Chain A
Amino acid sequence: MNRSLRLFISIASWLLSVAITLVGLAALTFFIGRVLPIDPVLSIVGEKATPEVYQKVYLELGLDKPLWQQFIDYLGKLLRGDFGTSFSTSRPVLTDLVNFFPATLELATIGLVIGVVLGVPMGVASAYWHEKWPDHVLRVIGLVGYSVPIFWLGLVGLFVFYYLLDWVSGPGQLDVFFVGVVDRVTGSILIDSALAGEWEIFANAVSHMILPALLLGYYSLAYISRMTRSVMLDQLSREYVLTARLKGASEFRVVAGHALRNAAIPLVTVIALSYGGLLEGSVLVETIFSWPGIGNYIYSSLFAADMNAVLGGTLLVGIVFVLLNMLSDVLYRVLDPRSRELRR
């Protein structure tokens, strides 16, 4: 009885802290959208609006009410899924976001897979050969990934692999004559074309996707390999590794079976965080590759001075960020028996 009560309290306080973070996020976007602009109405209707239109929007926004009341109204609208209307597409922002999000998710997920598949072994190798030449080489590769402006790398990649070598397809999700052929089911072009059995389109999508996905993969690889290295360094210096070696376990077994298994738990957190980073990194990559995702949506809304869309996109990515953090927290507790032990 006592134990379940304590469990309930800890879950409740944890949920409360997630809720506070989400409200804080909403407060930030509220601040940026309503408080910062000198005149929020003007930023919506533009300079040439008639006084009647101005007055109408002024009342619609509820600017005659006190600020805290406005914020409560704003929160209420967000909870009902009302992110406002985009003035450039004249659709609800939420509809737009739902339309554009799958493309971003697809790109970021493939990028993450590339980052994990390459980054974790790189980090392990780097830790295993600590301060030897493989470590130096791998660290420099990682540091380059940290330091390179990703949008510039995208341009260079397009120039070299699309224009000079013609190995991959150019910007966009598909070649022009394939656009709209496949019915939209999930919004992910790979899944949709595979479901429709259109393998030619599938191949075309792959050749369009490969460059931006590799870029995002490299972007996340830098972080993942660095963190893997430091976690593995810590594990490899523990005594149980020495014990395993003394008992005659093979080096592969020591590294992969013992050290990496223990390193896997903190790595889950790292990977969840870098997934959030990828969603953000895709903003710049999408603008380079004209990828029809959230990033491109935010980018084009910026030029239309469409703050509802910009803030809606920011809020969506922010919410995903917070939820990923939360997920990594949960996974950590589920995976690590020690943290469960402590809570009893």
Chain B
Amino acid sequence: MSTTEIVADPRHAVRAARWAEFKLFARRFMRNPLGVAGLVIVLLLLFAAAFAPWLATHDPYLPNLTSRLAAPSAEYWFGADELGRDIYSRLIYGSRLTLLIVALVIVTSAPVGLIIGAVSGTVGGWVDAVFMRITDIFLAVPKLLLALAFVAALGPGIVNAALAITLTAWPPYARLARAEALVVRNSDYVNAARLAGASEFRIIVFHVIPMCLSSVIVRMTFDMAGIILTAAGLGFIGLGAQPPLPEWGAMISTGRKFIFDQWWIATIPGAAIFIVSLGFNLLGDALRDLLDPHLRQRK
């Protein structure tokens, strides 16, 4: 490609450059086997959630007392629970609930944290002091216990559980965005934008927040693993999804009574939680190696 072409079609050049960067990124990502394994697990989860009706072999809600507590077999791949429902089918449908909670928490906590942090870092002064003090308070309290008390007050349920996890999940994003904003705030291009008459709002939205995105993506991937574990913990305690919903943590809690004689009821949903959360952690690890600006500088 010659220079004249680039000048002739700058949009095309930008797109080509982005594509080349993405290809380089993908190639470097593929070199990390653990990261690829994590990506495969996450894709499988998405696949299971998207095609649950076709993948499931039984109705996840219909009790069938003749197959009560059935052991794993050709008919029931992972056995059946105390109401004779197929555990495999419930797992497949449960992936939707897991994704729902994760999505609810991420779409609420990441933007809230991001905005608070970016505003705090850019504006500075007493706004910064107040916001950061609040963030510190939320960081200093035990997360699971706070979520637990919150759901106990609001009443159990998926949405309330997600709200409670959000309440404890936003502060790290605020910290991250603030740190980034402090660096960007006095950089030349932001000053240039300010001189050109850009409002503080515009600077925050178009100049500060985009700079935070790569660290936020890494943080989000790790967070998803944590959210899955917390949601499962709340479900296990009985504060998350309510029966008959096939939430994985709640499935462990019903299987707990049968752990010694019908081990599959509790252990298999737990294995699913473990594998999915491991997948997100592996993916996060690989993404951090590639995206984290601090790590990139060191190399």
Contacts and interface: CB of A to CB of B under 8 A. Distances in A.
B281 A146 contact: yes
A254 interface: no
Interface in B14-51: 34
B279 to A, nearest CB: 8
A311 interface: yes
A146 B298 CA distance: 25
Nearest to A162: B260
B150 A151 contact: no
Contacts of A139: 285
A282 to B, nearest CB: 10
16 contacts: A17-B136, A24-B140, A32-B149, A149-B232, A149-B274, A152-B252, A153-B270, A156-B267, A159-B263, A163-B260, A280-B143, A281-B144, A284-B237, A314-B148, A318-B141, A318-B146
Contact of B236 (A147, A151, A313): A151
B270 A155 contact: yes
A195 B252 CA distance: 40
A322 B229 CA distance: 24
Contacts of B169: none
Contacts of B134: 24
Contacts of B133: 17, 20, 24
A37 interface: yes
Nearest to A288: B256
A152 B274 contact: yes
Interface in A255-290: 276, 279-281, 283-284, 287
B105 interface: no
Contact of A28 (B137, B233, B266, B280): B137
A159 B260 contact: yes
A307 B140 contact: no
Interface in B112-151: 133-134, 136-138, 140-146, 148-150
Contacts of B84: none
Contacts, number: 143
Interface in A312-329: 313-314, 317-318, 321-322, 325
Nearest to B164: A32
Interface of A: 17, 20-21, 24-25, 27-29, 32-33, 36-37, 43, 136, 139-140, 143-144, 146-149, 151-153, 155-156, 158-159, 163, 237, 276, 279-281, 283-284, 287, 298-299, 302-303, 305, 307, 310-311, 313-314, 317-318, 321-322, 325
Interface residues of B, number: 46
Given A25-B137, A149-B232, A317 B142 contact: yes
Interface string B226-263: 00010011001111000000000100100010011001
Nearest to B143: A280
A20 B241 CA distance: 35
A2 to B, nearest CB: 26
Nearest to B150: A32
Contacts of A237: 298
Given A24-B140, A151-B252, A299-B237, 10 more contacts: A24-B134, A28-B138, A143-B281, A148-B278, A152-B252, A152-B266, A237-B298, A280-B143, A283-B144, A310-B152
Contacts of B225: 146-147
B277 interface: yes
B282 interface: yes
B153 interface: yes
Contacts of A302: 148, 152, 237-239
B162 interface: no
Chain B contact residues: helix, strand, loop or mixed: helix
Contact of B140 (A36, A163, A325): A325
Given A148-B274, A149-B229, A155 B256 contact: yes
Nearest to A35: B153
A302 B152 CA distance: 7
B287 interface: no
B148 A279 contact: no
Contacts of B263: 159
Contacts of B232: 149, 152
Chain A contact residues: helix, strand, loop or mixed: helix
A36 B152 CA distance: 10
B212 to A, nearest CB: 21
A27 B133 CA distance: 13
A281 B226 CA distance: 13
Contact of B267 (A147, A159, A303): A159
A305 to B, nearest CB: 8
A280 B145 contact: yes
B278 A144 contact: yes
A151 B235 CA distance: 11
Contact of B259 (A33, A155, A279): A155
B270 A152 contact: yes
A36 to B, nearest CB: 4
B218 interface: no
A183 B154 CA distance: 41
A314 B229 contact: no
B141 A25 contact: yes
B148 A33 contact: no
Contacts of B149: 29, 32-33, 307, 310-311, 314
Given A146-B225, A152-B273, A284-B233, A36 B141 contact: no
A4 B278 CA distance: 52
Contacts of B146: 28, 32, 314, 318
Contacts of B271: 152
A126 B141 CA distance: 31
Nearest to A148: B274
Contacts of A144: 274, 278
Contact of B145 (A148, A155, A159, A298): A298
A280 B267 CA distance: 23
B155 to A, nearest CB: 9
